[in-house]
Structure 1
């Protein structure tokens, strides 16, 4: 059985300050297959690496940064000075993060937000809405692609928003794309087909034949999936990378059924799964 690629979620956010240069370097040191990051614009439009719409989002009761306000309304210098989770690491620009990461590491750039509260997350859009959403995303996508073009390594773009994928296909169709699934596998598959995405990224509880289907996670309910996204995607030649794994048991379940990549919060989960498998055969 082929081993799944290990994709460091925000730079292994379970043990490193998420989406920072330090986290990116840590993921590289841990020999992750790829690094997953989130991008959105500061007030001037410069792409910055941060997940939440607000700089004062929460993580286990702690403020995400020591700054406040919507990222896209905050001056770049204030975003760059924001201390992430009291770590001493600050929010980087996309260009700064690329400069710190070896080109041997692949990067999954999630297009998180173009600078608006009006997002259509996880939806397969009606035809008359697609061009409007594409136009909303396109200026920001152009800025992101400019930074990505200076990086010599492999890049995969992903998004929960169809408009982002539509804009990317118009701006720079040579880049690989992935449709992120929220609460509808059918919508995710439809979007992946519409833009000929190279990959699809479902949540961990949306993979048929695993124990993870018994939990509610992300936007997906606790139930056996209505469609086998792994089978459909592989039949159509698409890679399946699953988000976000936190334990070696989850990792082992997903590896067992043959997913291609696992977006993980912690390093070493695959090795832990190996140890568990070895113990079971004693």
Structure 2
């Protein structure tokens, strides 16, 4: 069985200030890294910036996410670009700055996190009557993101928990690969992937049936054995399965043995440890 590709979660957020240029460059320079995973949202001017939380004043293990405050999409670009991340000298970059800094030999999974609204239809398979409206909500931001990505010659994979984002990507830039991010509804995730003919599907680590992780709690997700074998279903459809987010070597080994194609990892080096167990 081939080893899964390693995807650096926010640039290996376990060892570096997440979603920053420094983290991305360091992750890209590691031999095992096949792809970076980053999150994008708009600044007040619409420029795509790389940050996960919708607010600048979030925290990580008690440490402020940045030294700024407020909603990302209501904040001037200049303020974002000077906001220090997790008490380091790294700041919130634009998507263009980050892509300019990494080699085009590395792939980049651009997660479309938010188009600039608190009204998200998160991890939901939309009824047909709502799809055009939600695509319209996302289209202006997706246009900006695609314009930036068009200047990058490396591999780009767009992903999102929001169906409207995937619909906008398929309409605006069908030449790019897309992936649906799955939360607690595996059936809905498969349905969305099929609706937009996504190349990949990204389930959480405890959604992989037959592993020890499948009955463990993770991020408030269900801890029952999954009713759907999402790896088998996705592979039968010809889709890649990239699982999120793995934090240690035995988690890596469990999902690798289940046959996933990619593992979104918080730390580097987990593949080497798991192979020696």
Q: For residues 146 and 219 of structure 2, what CA distance do their matches in structure 1 show?
A: 28
* Aligned counterparts of 1:43 and 1:216: Cα–Cα separation in 2: 37
Aligned pairs for 1:43-192 within 5 A: 43-192=44-193
- The aligned counterpart of 2:30 is 30
| C-alpha deviation, 1:215, in angstroms | 1.3
The answer to whether 1:215 aligns with 2:213 is no
The CA deviation string for residues 235-257 of structure 1, in whole angstroms up to 9 with x for no partner, is 00000000000010000001111
In structure 1, the gaps of 5 or more residues are 277-282
Q: CA offsets per residue over residues 101-147 of structure 1, 9 Å max, x none?
A: 00000000000000000001100001111100000000000000000
CA contact (8 A) 1:24 1:101 kept: yes
**So what's the TM-score if we normalise by structure 2?**
0.99
CA drift at 1:275:
1.7
Q: Distance in 2 between matches of 1:28 and 1:79?
A: 23
Query: Following superposition, which runs of at least 4 residues in structure 1 exceed 3 angstroms of deviation?
Result: none
Distance 2:218 2:65 in 1: 21
Distance (Å, rounded) in 1 between the aligned partners of 2:226 and 2:121: 22
Partner of 2:250: 249
1:38 is paired with a residue whose SS is strand
Aligned length: 276
3-state SS of the aligned residue for 1:33? strand
- Work out whether residues 7 and 261 of structure 1, in 8 Å CA contact, stay in contact via their aligned partners in 2: yes
Instruction: Report the CA distance between 1:72 and its aligned residue.
Output: 0.1
Separation of aligned partners in 2, 1:14 and 1:123: 29
RMSD, matched Cα? 0.6
Q: Report the alpha carbon displacement of residue 216 of structure 1 after superposing the two structures with TM.
A: 1.7
